[in-house]
Amino acid sequence: QVQLVESGGGLVQAGGSLRLSCAASGRTFSSDGMGWFRQAAGKEREFVAAISTNVIDTFYSDSVKGRFTISRDKARNTVYLEMNSLKPEDTAVYYCAADVDGNWRLPEYWRHWGQGTQVTVSS
């Protein structure tokens, strides 16, 4: 059974940093893209960042570009999201996703999801 388990969320003041981790089990995703989405209360799930199988190609939403960094450790079957200069508008549940077939920025094209981790940024 495939599982993606996120960790690292929490409460942080504006301007602070957090590092999210997503550990995959049940199969290896070394040949698949991995990514992060987020969903704020009352809003739709939105793309945050993704990383390709070559580890070099990364993609970011305009709202986080320059502040967030996605990385992955294939040996550990894990993807990370380093979040710096956090803003109150970054508050959301952050979801890890794996194995995409289609538009990386749309959640419906991702096959596997984690349960989410809450990130709250206070002003």
SS3 state of residue 89: helix
State the chain's mean pLDDT as an integer. Answer: 96
Question: Does the pLDDT value for residue 56 go beyond 90?
Answer: no
Q: Residue 31: name the closest of 53, 2, 51, 54 by CA.
A: 53
User: How would residue 85 be classed by pLDDT, with cut points 50, 70 and 90?
Assistant: very high
User: How would residue 52 be classed by pLDDT, with cut points 50, 70 and 90?
Assistant: very high
* Token pair belonging to 63: 């709202």
Question: Does the pLDDT value for residue 55 go beyond 90?
Answer: no
* Mean of pLDDT values over 24-52: 95
Residue 30 is predicted with a pLDDT of 84
For the chain, state the CA radius of gyration.
Answer: 13
Distance CA 16, CA 85 (A): 6
